Amino acid sequence: MPRYLVVFGTRPEAIKMAPVLQALEEDPQATSIACCTGQHQDLLAPILSLFRIHPQYNLRVMSVNQQLSALTSLLLPQLEKILLAERPDRVLVQGDTTTAMVAAMAASYQKIPVAHVEAGVRSHNPLEPFPEEMNRKIIDALADLFFAPTQVERNDLLREGIHPSKIHVTGNTSIDALRHIASQPFSIQGSALEGLPLMDKRIILTTVHRRENHGLPLINICAAIRKIAQIYRNTAHIVIPVHPNPNVKACVHRCLGGVPNITLTPPLGYKEIVALAQCAFFALTDSGGLQEELTWLGKPALVLRNVTDRREAIDAGAAKLVGVDPQVIVASAIELMENAAIYRRMAQCRELFGDGTAARKIARILHQHHARSQEPSAIVTPEVTQAPPFSEAA
């Protein structure tokens, strides 16, 4: 019976790994061990509860203003201890976080195979997103089994020299999680969304947290949001779940606090963010995961990044890359608000990133891969030849 160690550390990782853990638990031929490194514990705890994830290990490694080097040096020996104690047959990591990268490194040091969920995602810019682009390329250099969301990621992996037999296009487990939550009843009453003018105004969902947007880019984004709020003060309402990172929180509150048709909320629960996205007219976002989810919900996205690693949404016309220039952001928002034809073309439900069955496909492939690895190999007796006599060059 194979033993899988599933490692995750952030809220998006937990959301995307929850369907995988469930699929593995439904397989009587597999044992899964969940390890949560506990980055942003306050954001993680509600997700663990929502998806009923009970990690066997919870490292709680995050500290205030923690640097990437400190996090890496802290995680590596702790994960090594768990690997030595559990001796899994395989380690599963998801995405592109520092947790995923370090877990892949720790497994490789112990000669334990690594499977990468959401493999092959690329922006082709090493600094955007940072450090995610670097992390996922390191993971894919260490992994031997790759679960690519779409053919786009498969093609990128092939260009990087990964053998086709190791790549499996499964869709993204983010859509699995989204479909599960979107199908459940949700009451606005008593939630963080109560009091918002969801039926009276066009809602613009806005999320911004990317590291490369800290500083001047975020100031410019906030200036654009303030201008959009001013132009549509009677017809639109902007809702911003504010990320707890001090570099984000302080800037957003300083620039946008007190604007009548802007609501700044603490981070929302996953059910609430899905419900808000369903109610939204469109979204302004620099989130990778939300770019995927909005396409399935049929909501246009204006992507607040210079490059995107979700090219499928851009190519299909479901999202538009607007960067961090205030004039471009404002013009693009006005276009969606004023041009019904453009809005309709973008606002179509699409299954660009999967149909909600990715986790079951992953579990099935893992089972098949393990079964093949247990098959007795043919014994080959090498032909013995006479070695030539040793001689030193004159």
The stretch 204-226 carries a mean pLDDT of 95
What are 171's two structure tokens? 């869709």
The pLDDT, as a whole number, for residue 377 is 61
The pLDDT, as a whole number, for residue 270 is 94
The residues that are catalytic are: 96, 118, 132, 209, 211, 243
- pTM to 2 decimal places: 0.90
What are the structural domains, with CATH classification, of the chain? 3-172+354-371 (3.40.50.2000), 202-346 (3.40.50.2000)
Question: What percent of the chain clears pLDDT 90, i.e. is strictly above it?
Answer: 80
- CA 385 – CA 382 distance, rounded (Å): 9
For 62-74, how does the pLDDT look when each residue is reduced to its tens digit (9 = 90+)? 666 667 888 898 8
334 has a pLDDT exceeding 70: yes
What are 313's two structure tokens? 């949404």
Instruction: Give yes or no for a contact between 178 and 293, defined as CB atoms under 8 angstroms apart.
Output: yes
What are 106's two structure tokens? 């720790």
For 110-169, how does the pLDDT look when each residue is reduced to its tens digit (9 = 90+)? 999 999 999 999 999 998 888 999 999 999 999 999 999 999 999 999 999 999 999 999
209 has a pLDDT exceeding 50: yes
The stretch 79-108 carries a mean pLDDT of 96
Task: Tell me the HSE value of 246 on the side-chain side, using a 13 A CA sphere.
Answer: 4
289 has a pLDDT exceeding 80: yes
Dihedral of alpha carbons 258, 226, 292, 196, sign? positive
282 beta partners = 204
Which one, of 181, 173, 184, lies nearest residue 6 by Cα?
173
The stretch 60-88 carries a mean pLDDT of 86
Instruction: Give yes or no for a contact between 150 and 352, defined as CB atoms under 8 angstroms apart.
Output: yes
The stretch 275-281 carries a mean pLDDT of 96
